[in-house]
Amino acid sequence: MLLSALRIPGLMQREEINFRKRTVLWRSCSQYKQVASNEDLPVPMENPYKEPLKKCILCEKHVDYKNVQLLSQFISPFTGCIYGRHITGLCGKKQKEITKAIKRAQILGFMPVTYKDPAYLKDPKVCNIKYRE
């Protein structure tokens, strides 16, 4: 009773009618289904943070134990140790081929075992190793 006494009779009816019209108009709109189905879906796109694939520099090349100049690029000039994959950037298959070819060349006498041949010290660097000069 108290609430009905505080209500203004014409005001409440207008608000209900306006509210119902807006609701009905929005739901009866033919674009409602298209908007809900198309704009809410994620847009297909490539990952912007994806790094480009690194290619092995020797995958298309033939590794031979007699090619001492190529093999010397993958050993340390100070110790004669073979660089690992994290330094050379080779794939597993080619790293294994390089290792076998270096070992074979060292056994057959084409390459020194404990140091890098001085003739190849000025060759361009293939590996990502940096020394102080």
Range of the domain at 9: 2-39
Given this model, what pLDDT does residue 133 score?
47
- Using DSSP's 3-state secondary structure scheme, residue 82 falls into strand
121 and 59 in a single domain? The answer is: yes
Mean pLDDT across 12-25: 53
35 and 76 in a single domain? The answer is: no
**Cα distance between residue 17 and residue 14, in whole Å:** 5
- Check: pTM over 0.85? Answer yes or no: no
Comparing CA positions, the residue from 54, 58, 60 lying closest to residue 95 is 58
28 and 54 in a single domain? The answer is: no
**Cα distance between residue 113 and residue 81, in whole Å:** 8
The reply to whether 44 falls in a domain is no
CATH of the domain at 70: 4.10.640.10
End-to-end CA distance of the chain: 97
109 and 68 in a single domain? The answer is: yes
In the predicted structure, residue 49 carries a pLDDT above the cut 80: yes
Contacts of 42 (CB under 8 A, 6+ apart): none
**Cα distance between residue 109 and residue 50, in whole Å:** 45
Residue 100 near residue 127 (C-beta atoms within 8 A): no
Given this model, what pLDDT does residue 125 score?
78
